């Protein structure tokens, strides 16, 4: 018995020394190596993400600078010429400011990066085209970017709200830059998703309202008569009439836009505004009854972000709130300047859809021709 016990102990010791301990050592060494590898990979990934975010934000800064330059210098420097006419001594200050604001309104209509433009003139006066980001003038003049801009004319200086902070090439990878970039990316994604969710919710209600309006408006058809023979929609008798609207969540909608090639079904708000564009496409001008309707939308992917990919000959459908259906075909795509307000709304096009390019410097414009009107 003692001999057997001794053999077992010897076997166990040998097993532990020759098998278990080496396995534990290998496992520990492997775990340590794996940990180091994972840690190195994680650090490399974080660094790559930081560099990507830094590059993206730097590009956004460049885009904003280009947008401002484009706004001021395009169309033979019309914007800059109008700014020169703004001083208080000018007798045409009100007319000049109104024209400048009109151009800027159209320029930022579908852009998501420009929220406000404050002009600080060399005579000490200032003018705000939009007051949503108002900053006390004394704080602006104390800011490092403002002083740098005065000292270095012709250069673009980008600053933050706190006086004395200037984003430059030397510190653009700092915490402020990274945080701002992450917030910007998250905000854009959130806006896009929120717009898509809102459109889907509204669309369900509008489709229900349209069907209800159809059921209420259709006449009893005499025997042998078609709908077209027995029923004449109001807009045919009076094309100048206002498009009917339905209210959903306090917002007035004039119909539903369908673009099968892009798998889009979108509600259309009756009147455009910056806040309305964050919810859904908006009627910018005209009417489907007069064959001159213009619809604007943000370049959210859930809205008109893929409009540039829409080829000629594709179907576009608009259904008004009475259920009247207007079928169009895409005929032409144009890239227009943000200043081309008259070009956007003029011409013989039956339907126009537009949004801004990614940088906001141009407008992707799709022209459509009417193919068919179907009565409700």
Encode 172-224 in three state secondary structure.
CCCHHHHHHHHHHHHHHHHHHHHHHHHHHHHHHHHHHHHHHHHHHHCCCCCCC
347 with 242, same domain? yes
120 with 21, same domain? yes
Question: 72-86, 305-319, 325-339: lowest mean pLDDT where?
Answer: 72-86
Residue 180 domain-assigned (yes or no): no
Q: Which of 90, 105, 134 lies at the terminal end of a domain, its last residue?
A: 134
Residue 128 domain-assigned (yes or no): yes
Query: How sure is the predictor about 217, in pLDDT bands with cuts at 50, 70 and 90?
Result: low
CATH classification of the domain holding 272? 2.40.260.10
Residue 151 domain-assigned (yes or no): no
- What mean pLDDT do residues 14-18 have? 68
Q: Residue 168 has what pLDDT?
A: 38
112 with 205, same domain? no
If 0-12 CB within 10 Å is exposed, 13-18 middle and 19+ buried, where does residue 282 land?
Answer: buried
Say whether pLDDT at 224 is over 60: no
121 with 211, same domain? no
25 with 128, same domain? yes
Specify whether the CB–CB gap between 112 and 191 falls below 8 A: yes
Say whether pLDDT at 3 is over 60: no
- Which of 118-122, 180-184, 302-306, 372-376 has the highest average model confidence (pLDDT)? 302-306
99 with 191, same domain? no
Q: Residue 265 has what pLDDT?
A: 94
251 with 347, same domain? yes
Residue 161 domain-assigned (yes or no): no
193 with 100, same domain? no
30 with 102, same domain? yes
More confident residue, 31 or 67: 31
248 with 364, same domain? yes
Residue 207 domain-assigned (yes or no): yes
99 with 201, same domain? no
Domain that holds residue 32: 2-134
Gap between the Cα atoms of 195 and 174, Å rounded: 32
Residue 33 domain-assigned (yes or no): yes
Residue 334 domain-assigned (yes or no): yes
- What mean pLDDT do residues 256-274 have? 93
- What mean pLDDT do residues 92-102 have? 74
Residue 170 domain-assigned (yes or no): no
120 with 194, same domain? no
- What mean pLDDT do residues 187-202 have? 76
Domains held by the chain: number: 2
Say whether pLDDT at 171 is over 50: no
Q: Which of 134, 162, 178 lies at the terminal end of a domain, its last residue?
A: 134
**What average pLDDT does the structure give for the chain?**
75
């Amino acid at each position: 018995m003692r001999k057997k016990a001794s053999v077992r102990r010897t076997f166990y010791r040998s097993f532990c020394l020759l098998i278990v301990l080496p396995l534990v050592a290998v496992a520990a060494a492997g775990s340590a190596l794996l940990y180091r590898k994972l840690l190195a990979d994680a650090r490399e990934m974080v660094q790559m993400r930081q560099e990507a975010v830094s590059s993206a934000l730097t590009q956004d800064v460049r885009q904003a600078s280009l947008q401002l330059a484009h706004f001021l210098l395009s169309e033979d420097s019309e914007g800059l010429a109008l700014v020169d006419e703004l001083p208080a001594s000018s007798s045409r200050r009100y007319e000049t400011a109104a024209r400048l604001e009109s151009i800027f309104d159209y320029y930022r209509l579908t852009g998501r990066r420009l929220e406000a433009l404050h002009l600080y003139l060399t005579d000490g006066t200032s003018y705000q085209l939009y007051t949503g980001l108002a900053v006390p003038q004394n704080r602006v003049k104390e800011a490092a970017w403002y002083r740098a801009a005065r000292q270095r004319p012709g250069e673009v200086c980008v600053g933050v709200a706190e006086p004395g902070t200037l984003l430059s090439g030397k510190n653009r990878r700092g915490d402020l830059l990274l945080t701002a970039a992450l917030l910007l990316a998250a905000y854009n994604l959130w806006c896009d998703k929120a717009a898509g969710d809102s459109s889907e919710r509204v669309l369900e209600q509008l489709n229900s309202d349209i069907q209800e309006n159809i059921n209420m408006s259709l006449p009893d058809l005499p025997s042998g008569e078609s709908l077209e023979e027995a029923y004449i929609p109001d807009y045919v008798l009076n094309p100048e009439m206002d498009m009917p609207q339905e209210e959903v969540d306090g917002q007035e909608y004039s119909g539903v836009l369908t673009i099968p090639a892009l798998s889009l079904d979108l509600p259309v708000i009756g009147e455009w505004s910056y806040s309305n564009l964050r919810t859904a496409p908006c009627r910018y001008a005209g009417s489907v009854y007069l064959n001159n309707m213009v619809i604007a939308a943000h370049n959210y992917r859930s809205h008109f972000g893929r409009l540039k990919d829409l080829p000629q000959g594709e179907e576009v459908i608009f259904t008004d709130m009475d259920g009247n259906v207007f079928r169009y075909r895409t005929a032409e795509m144009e890239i227009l300047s943000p200043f081309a307000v008259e070009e956007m709304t003029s011409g013989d096009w039956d339907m126009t859809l537009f949004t801004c390019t990614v940088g906001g410097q141009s407008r992707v414009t799709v022209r459509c021709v009417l193919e068919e009107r179907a009565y409700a």
